[in-house]
């Protein structure tokens, strides 16, 4: 069997204990479901001195859906989100995205926080230690260049979370706690601002800082959905994903938000598409032209199955189909 | 070493494990429960599926220490002596077992499905087992077996009521 | 055999089924011996390099390391085919692909073994590597194997049968097409595993192998141990498909390490190592030229293939011949020629995978045939029926066809989907496709020359009433143990539950050549039948003598012998055994099977002949998403002529599994390499074995042509049933959206590209001409 590198397992029973453990051990990493981290550790991508298990912190398990929106703790498992009746009706994109993550047994283990913090992925990175060494490593881990885009100076590893595009489309805000400014420090930001377009850095988390929970605004009259393009209907990470949320008021599309995943090192808010949709009457030609713009800000490179051009095309098709489907189906 | 206490196939157990030891390793190497198979060790095949508090999880990606205080059921915990679980029986009768390497994981996944949803549609069955790869059967007979087990349990339930 | 069967043709629960559903079945990786060590293999990071030196001293000095081995510990070449013994247990002198085995260690635990690997220092002289087979054909400056005479061409085969020139001359229409079928790999869910134990100068190896007998011989050769001191045992096995069909490095490495350390050593491959071990489907570049009469009757066929063999021989020379030899059916081809070439490249070796050798040409030919039919305005079903071969015939390359249910396969699979009413008439995006196929029931010749039986069985009935079958046949999941129990039970007249099967142990079971080339039901089944008849005859003779009746009046049914005395007497089976035992000692029977001499007189005639051939036809119904290029198989009807279904659910399971494996390598599975030779997708995440959501319920149709020489009329069903699925899907895509796909696997991108080309009216690949 593959060997996990040696580490100490810390199992705090509260959020503050967890933050202290992270603060005290600079080589520590937090873990919740472990469905991505343990794979990476078996591949030798991470060798933390400590793993701080967040599952024992009750503060991170809260899941509440009410009039003022929804709050979902970082340790809430994806299967719970998928099956939650109010999330299914009010925040359908999120429910669909949770159901699209990997495969059912992994959804029983994986958490929302883990999926939000999912490492970026690349053919040349998500391989065994033997494989990567035989190639001389890559920029993201230990090599001199990006194997997927050798001329570039940066890492283009692909943003691969399913839930994040859905959360961003739904207008989620993420609450971060702890970090170098002390275990009591806290900040909340729109989820799209959490990510940075850099396959290595990935997000703005500071050392010792954690995602505590995600907050979704009220979902009155909200239509939303998530589409994932992948080779098999299960197990696979997205090659392209699109999430859309909007309201229809007096026959017009309002407050449209469109997010694209797996097409850059961070999730992409499709501002041009959103602009076309805003205030528009839902006519088929309009949907098509809005969908055409969805890839404007994406930067796919050849680090996944499917050429970048094909993935762009798929993003447009997914977007158009999703818009059409939502407008035809109407609210649940 | 971390000492972990949990319920294993209904019995309370206590075991010392390394921090980096997976539940799969502990089950196979410390408890000798080799019915839980290792097919990829990376969460891609489902051969190592066990039930954690009644839900299918991939034991190659669960730290053994995470079993603390929980209930773990492996394929060895499903049958009682010579009496097979209805899902096991259906797999046998339907010819849903070939090489058998995916079978423990498949059977446990199907068991959890039927516990939660006693009368699943074929699509629901296929979705539930979509994290368990089978290379021999092409899935047709596995889906039939799960349906057969559902029907058998349903019939049993009805008999019980009458 | 006119009497009604007691068991044959009815569902029999698999022999070791309870053990498999309860987790009790012991696979190799489940075995543990006291003092057992963990073995690990160091692999080459280079695609092609000379090894200047290996320094293992630091690894040996690491506490917990009990043995280190390199190629120098066993520098004896081996290879499954005597014509290409080009491998070593661990590299000697050179490495030829990223992942080639260089050294091995045995240590007290996995972490120590891995640390020890990192302490081995190998000095490599990196050599230029070749990954493209066309380049391999001409690069004289890079020799992957020094022995190849021309560039990196391992072997060429060219054969011609009948008057090909006249055949094309006679044709009203000639069409030429090129195809490429990419690699696929077996991906069994059980990774390879071997446990070696050396005691009293004798080696015992428990290993996940399809071929205990061949492995036994090569272990003896490579370890330089007499064969009587080597024992190979195959425990429960979790899927082979050809990937465990030849001696493999871990089997030698574990044995060498066990010998050196004096302790049991187990090596279980990681999933990545399974991909590197490979021996799967050869990438094949193919050209077809076929002449037909106006009505679609074939007059001549010429075929060319280029096989990308990867770094070693493996089964490749056989694959090479099969690629040509298996195109003379299931259609009557009056004149035929082929030219085939296998080259070496710096990739993991290709070998035998389910449907071995015939799968790639079958894909190409069946699509090519549909194109001809389309060109001539003939229905694809009709052109197949028109050319379908019949029983009791001989192909132009001298393959003897005994039973043949091909026509019935075509007709029944077509009827099942209402072919006539629906083909060509479905809404755009939906389509139906049909394809045929045929396959051998075991090779006519063994892999190494010997005059012995290919299969042997020994059966003993004892006074407990039990019947025990001893047979070398290797159950790899397909259910050959169940087949043996069933054949013995039916022949003798006892229930299958009273039959115990001891199989695949070279110490206790007589030789069977192994689970490859779809030979087991036919050959081991016949051997078992012969042995069982001997047991039955002894029993009945004893009962007849005891009771003064004639043997012909006796019958064993339901665990009892009915003796027609007056009044009639019922003897239990155990009582009958005792009567026989009193008269002649232990009640044993033995039987063997050797195929009749079938090979023609020409060089190369040894590959292709088989005592019988299975036939099949699949019909696929697909839906093509013209915006995404995604293809969904909605239905796959798989008709297969297996002679007789001994155990129908098991036979259906074989057909269903094969059809899905074919579907997988048509639409999902890619076994490719990055430009420096690393495997692109060495995981079950990135190598896309279909999930339950990606495939439909397969609809099997079992066609029974009752072969005159098969056990109870049975033929193979596990491999031939893969052949038609690939072209059936590709032909259905044409019916759905009007594009021909000459490369598989088929990506959505390729579908979109072909749709765009069609829209632009660009010239299509391949061409036909009227003569």
CATH number of the structural domain spanning residue B111: 1.10.150.120
Residues B6 and B66 in one domain: yes
User: Looking at residue B33, which CATH number applies to its domain?
Assistant: 3.10.20.30
Q: Does A42 touch chain B (CB under 8 A)?
A: yes
Confirm if C555 and C543 have CB atoms less than 8 A apart: no
Q: What is the pLDDT averaged over residues C445-474?
A: 96
Cβ of A4 within 8 Å of Cβ of B65? The answer is no
Mean pLDDT of chain C: 97
Per DSSP bridges, beta strands B49-52 and C173-181 are: unpaired
Residues B52 and B93 in one domain: no
**Residues of B in Cβ contact (< 8 Å) with A9:** 2, 19, 63, 65
Residues counted in chain C: 771
Shortest Cα distance, chain C CAs vs residue B11, angstroms:
18
Residues B73 and B91 in one domain: no
State how far the Cα of B124 lies from the Cα of C27, in Å rounded to an integer: 31
Residues B7 and B47 in one domain: yes
Residues B148 and B97 in one domain: yes
Q: Supply the pLDDT for residue A324.
A: 95
* pTM for the predicted model, two decimal places: 0.97
- Per DSSP, A207 falls in state T
C684-742 residue pLDDT tens: 999 999 999 999 999 999 999 999 999 999 999 999 999 999 999 999 999 999 999 99
Q: Is the pLDDT score of A185 beyond 50?
A: yes
Strands (E) located in C188-318: 193-199, 202-207, 230-233, 265-268, 284-292, 298-308
Residues B6 and B58 in one domain: yes
Residues B147 and B97 in one domain: yes
Mean pLDDT of chain B: 95
Please give the structure tokens belonging to residue C311.
Answer: 């770094």
Residues B113 and B142 in one domain: yes
**Residues of B in Cβ contact (< 8 Å) with A11:** 65, 68
Query: Could you give the C-alpha distances from B101 to B22, C196, C340, C717, in angstroms and in order?
Result: 19, 22, 38, 21
C566 pLDDT band, cuts 50/70/90, is confident
Q: Supply the pLDDT for residue C508.
A: 98
Question: Domain end: B33, B58, B77, which one?
Answer: B77
Which chain A residue is nearest to residue C98, measuring alpha carbons?
A134
* Percentage of chain C lying above the pLDDT 90 cut: 97
Q: Which helix (H) or strand (E) holds C649?
A: helix C648-667
C179 pLDDT band, cuts 50/70/90, is very high
Which chain A residue is nearest to residue B62, measuring alpha carbons?
A34
Three-state SS letters, chain B? CEEEEEEECCEEEEEEECCCCEHHHHHHHHCCCCCCCCCCCCCCCCCCEEEECCEEEEHHHCEHHHHCCCEEECHHHCCECCECCHHHHHHHHHCCCCCCCCHHHHHHHHHHHHHHCCCCCHHHHHHHCCCCCCCCCCCHHHHHHHHHHHHHHHHHHHHHHC
State how far the Cα of C140 lies from the Cα of C218, in Å rounded to an integer: 32
Residues B95 and B150 in one domain: yes
Question: Domain end: B52, B77, B102, which one?
Answer: B77
Please give the structure tokens belonging to residue C274.
Answer: 């399974």
**Which domains are present in chain A?**
222-329 (3.30.390.50)
State how far the Cα of A23 lies from the Cα of A272, in Å rounded to an integer: 41
Cβ of A105 within 8 Å of Cβ of B109? The answer is yes
Residue of A33, A34, A99, A104 to mutate for B, most B C-beta atoms under 10 A: A104
Closest residue by Cα to residue B95 from C13, C61, C763:
C13
Cβ of B56 within 8 Å of Cβ of A108? The answer is yes
Shortest Cα distance, chain A CAs vs residue C191, angstroms:
11
State how far the Cα of C398 lies from the Cα of C432, in Å rounded to an integer: 34
- C140 three-state secondary structure: coil
* Percentage of chain A lying above the pLDDT 90 cut: 92
Residues B91 and B70 in one domain: no
Q: Is the pLDDT score of C183 beyond 90?
A: yes
C611-651 residue pLDDT tens: 999 999 999 999 999 999 999 999 999 999 999 999 999 99
C3 pLDDT band, cuts 50/70/90, is low
B161 pLDDT band, cuts 50/70/90, is very low
Q: Does C121 touch chain B (CB under 8 A)?
A: no
**Which domains are present in chain C?**
17-24+453-593 (3.30.365.10), 31-127+190-238+244-277 (3.90.1170.50), 364-443+609-770 (3.30.365.10)
Q: Is the pLDDT score of B160 beyond 50?
A: no
Q: What is the pLDDT averaged over residues C83-87?
A: 97
C224-243 residue pLDDT tens: 999 999 999 999 999 999 99
Cβ of B61 within 8 Å of Cβ of A7? The answer is no
Q: Give me the residue label for tokens 């039930």.
A: B51
Residues B92 and B113 in one domain: yes
Q: Is the pLDDT score of B76 beyond 80?
A: yes
If one counts the domains in chain B, the total is 2
Q: Supply the pLDDT for residue C610.
A: 97
Q: Supply the pLDDT for residue C342.
A: 98
Question: Domain end: B77, B106, B133, which one?
Answer: B77
Q: What is the pLDDT averaged over residues C252-270?
A: 98
- The range of the structural domain enclosing residue B115 comes to 86-161
Residues B104 and B61 in one domain: no
Q: Supply the pLDDT for residue A1.
A: 86
Q: Is the pLDDT score of B162 beyond 60?
A: no
- A244 three-state secondary structure: strand
Of C186, C685, C691, the CB nearest to B130: C691
Q: Supply the pLDDT for residue C599.
A: 84
Closest residue by Cα to residue C247 from C73, C85, C442:
C85
């Amino acid at each position: 069997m593959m060997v996990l590198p040696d580490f100490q397992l810390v199992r705090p029973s509260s959020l503050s204990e967890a933050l202290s453990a992270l603060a005290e051990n600079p080589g520590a990493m937090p873990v919740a479901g472990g469905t991505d981290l343990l794979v990476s550790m078996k591949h030798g991508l991470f060798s933390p001195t400590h793993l701080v298990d967040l599952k024992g912190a009750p503060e991170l398990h809260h899941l509440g859906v009410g009039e003022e929106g929804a709050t979902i703790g970082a340790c809430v498992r994806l299967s719970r989100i998928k099956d939650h009746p109010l999330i299914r009706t009010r925040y359908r994109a999120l429910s669909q995205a949770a159901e699209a993550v990997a495969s059912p047994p992994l959804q029983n283990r994986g958490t929302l926080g883990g999926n939000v913090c999912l490492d970026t992925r690349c053919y040349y990175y998500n391989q065994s230690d033997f494989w990567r060494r035989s190639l001389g490593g890559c920029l993201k881990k230990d090599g001199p260049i990006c194997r997927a885009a050798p001329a570039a100076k940066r890492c283009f590893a692909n943003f691969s979370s399913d839930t994040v595009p859905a959360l961003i489309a739904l207008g989620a805000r993420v609450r971060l706690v702890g970090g170098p400014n002390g275990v009591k420090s806290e900040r909340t930001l729109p989820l799209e601002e959490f990510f940075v377009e850099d396959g290595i850095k990935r997000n703005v988390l500071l050392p010792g800082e954690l995602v505590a929970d995600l907050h979704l605004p009220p979902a009155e009259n909200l239509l939303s959905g998530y589409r994932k393009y992948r080779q098999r209907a299960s197990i696979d990470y997205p090659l392209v994903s699109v999430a859309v949320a909007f309201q229809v008021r007096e026959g017009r599309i309002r407050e449209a938000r469109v997010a694209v995943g797996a097409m850059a090192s961070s999730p992409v808010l499709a501002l041009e598409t959103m602009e076309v949709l805003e205030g528009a009457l839902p006519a088929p030609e309009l949907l098509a032209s809005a969908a055409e713009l969805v890839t404007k800000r994406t930067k796919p490179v050849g680090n996944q199955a499917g050429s970048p051009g094909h993935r762009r095309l798929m993003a447009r098709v997914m977007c158009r189909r999703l818009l059409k489907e939502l407008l035809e189906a109407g609210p649940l | 070493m971390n000492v972990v206490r949990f319920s294993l196939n209904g019995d309370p157990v206590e075991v010392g494990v390394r921090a980096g030891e997976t539940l799969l390793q502990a089950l196979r190497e410390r408890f000798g429960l080799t019915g839980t198979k290792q097919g990829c060790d990376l969460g891609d095949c489902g051969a190592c599926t066990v039930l954690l508090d009644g839900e299918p999880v991939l034991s190659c990606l669960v730290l053994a220490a995470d079993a603390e205080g929980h209930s773990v059921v492996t394929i060895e915990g499903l049958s009682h002596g010579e009496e097979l679980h209805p899902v096991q029986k259906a797999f046998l009768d339907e010819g849903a077992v070939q090489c058998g390497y995916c079978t423990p994981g498949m059977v446990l996944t199907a068991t959890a499905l039927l516990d939660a949803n006693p009368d699943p549609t074929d699509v629901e069955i296929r979705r539930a087992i979509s994290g368990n790869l089978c290379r021999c059967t092409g899935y047709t007979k596995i889906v039939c077996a799960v349906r057969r087990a559902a029907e058998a349990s349903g019939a049993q339930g009805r008999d019980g009521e009458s | 055999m006119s009497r009604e069967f007691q068991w044959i043709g009815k569902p029999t629960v698999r022999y070791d089924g309870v053990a498999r559903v309860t987790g009790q079945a012991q696979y190799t990786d489940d075995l543990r011996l006291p003092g057992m060590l963990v073995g690990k293999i160091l692999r080459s990071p280079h695609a092609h390099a000379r090894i200047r030196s290996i320094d293992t001293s630091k690894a040996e000095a690491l506490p917990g390391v009990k043995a280190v081995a390199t190629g120098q510990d066993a520098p004896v070449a081996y290879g499954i085919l005597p014509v290409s013994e080009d491998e070593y247990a661990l590299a000697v002198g050179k490495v030829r692909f990223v992942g080639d085995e260089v050294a091995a260690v045995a240590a007290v635990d996995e972490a120590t073994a891995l640390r020890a690997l990192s302490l081995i220092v190998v000095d490599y002289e990196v050599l230029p590597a070749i990954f493209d087979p066309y380049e391999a054909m001409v690069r004289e400056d890079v020799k992957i194997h020094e022995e190849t005479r021309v560039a990196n061409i391992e072997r060429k085969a060219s054969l011609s049968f009948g008057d090909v020139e006249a055949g094309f001359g006679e044709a009203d229409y000639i069409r030429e097409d090129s195809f490429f079928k990419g690699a696929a790999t077996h991906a069994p869910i059980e990774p390879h595993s071997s446990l070696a134990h050396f005691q009293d100068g004798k080696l015992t190896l428990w290993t996940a192998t399809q071929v205990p007998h061949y492995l036994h011989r090569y272990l003896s050769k490579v370890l330089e141990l007499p064969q009587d001191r080597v024992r190979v045992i195959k425990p429960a096995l979790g899927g082979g498909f050809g990937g465990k069909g030849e001696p493999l490095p871990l089997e030698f490495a574990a044995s060498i390490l066990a010998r050196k350390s004096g302790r049991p050593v187990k090596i279980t491959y990681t999933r990545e190592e399974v991909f590197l071990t490979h021996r799967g489907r050869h990438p094949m570049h193919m050209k077809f030229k076929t002449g037909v009469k106006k009505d679609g009757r074939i007059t001549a066929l010429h075929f060319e293939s280029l096989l990308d063999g990867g770094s070693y021989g493996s089964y490749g020379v056989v694959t090479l011949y099969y690629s040509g030899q298996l195109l003379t059916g299931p259609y009557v081809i009056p004149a035929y020629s082929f030219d085939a070439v296998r080259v070496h490249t710096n990739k993991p070796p290709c070998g035998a995978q389910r449907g071995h050798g015939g799968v790639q040409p079958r894909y190409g030919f069946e699509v090519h045939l549909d194109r001809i039919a389309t060109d001539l305005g003939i229905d694809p079903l009709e052109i197949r029926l028109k050319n379908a071969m019949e029983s009791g015939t001989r192909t132009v390359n001298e393959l003897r066809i005994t039973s043949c249910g091909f026509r019935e396969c075509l007709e029944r699979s077509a009827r099942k989907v209402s072919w006539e009413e629906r083909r060509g008439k479905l809404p755009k995006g939906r389509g139906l496709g049909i394809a045929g196929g045929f396959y051998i029931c075991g090779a006519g010749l063994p892999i190494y020359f010997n005059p012995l039986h290919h299969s042997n069985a020994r059966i003993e009935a004892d006074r407990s009433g039990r019947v025990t079958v001893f047979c070398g046949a290797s159950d790899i999941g397909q259910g050959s143990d169940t087949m043996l129990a069933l054949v013995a039970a039916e022949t003798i007249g006892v229930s299958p539950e009273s039959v115990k099967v001891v199989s695949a142990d070279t110490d206790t079971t007589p030789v069977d050549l192994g689970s490859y080339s779809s030979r087991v039901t036919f050959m081991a089944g016949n051997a078992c039948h012969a042995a069982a008849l001997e047991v039955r005859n002894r029993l009945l003779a004893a009962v007849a003598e005891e009771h003064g009746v004639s043997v012909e009046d006796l019958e064993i049914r339901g665990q009892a012998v009915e003796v027609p005395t007056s009044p009639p007497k019922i003897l239990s089976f155990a009582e009958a055994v005792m009567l026989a035992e009193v008269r002649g000692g232990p009640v044993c029977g033995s039987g063997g099977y050797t195929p009749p001499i079938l090979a023609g007189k020409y060089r190369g005639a040894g590959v292709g002949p088989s005592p019988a051939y299975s036939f099949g036809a699949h019909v696929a119904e697909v839906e093509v998403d013209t915006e995404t290029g995604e293809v969904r198989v909605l239905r796959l009807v798989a008709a297969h002529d297996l002679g007789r279904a001994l155990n129908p659910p098991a036979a259906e399971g074989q057909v269903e599994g094969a059809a899905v494996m074919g579907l997988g390598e048509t639409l999902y599975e890619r076994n490719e390499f990055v430009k420096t030779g690393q495997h692109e997708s060495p995981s079950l995440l990135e190598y896309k074995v279909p999930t339950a959501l990606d495939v439909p319920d397969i609809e099997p149709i079992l066609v029974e042509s009752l072969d005159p020489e098969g056990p109870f009329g049975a033929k193979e069903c596990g491999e031939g049933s893969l052949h038609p699925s690939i072209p059936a899907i590709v032909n259905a895509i044409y019916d759905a959206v009007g594009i021909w796909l000459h490369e598989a696997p088929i990506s959505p991108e390729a579908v979109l590209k072909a749709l765009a080309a069609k829209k632009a009216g660009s010239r299509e690949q391949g061409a036909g001409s009227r003569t």
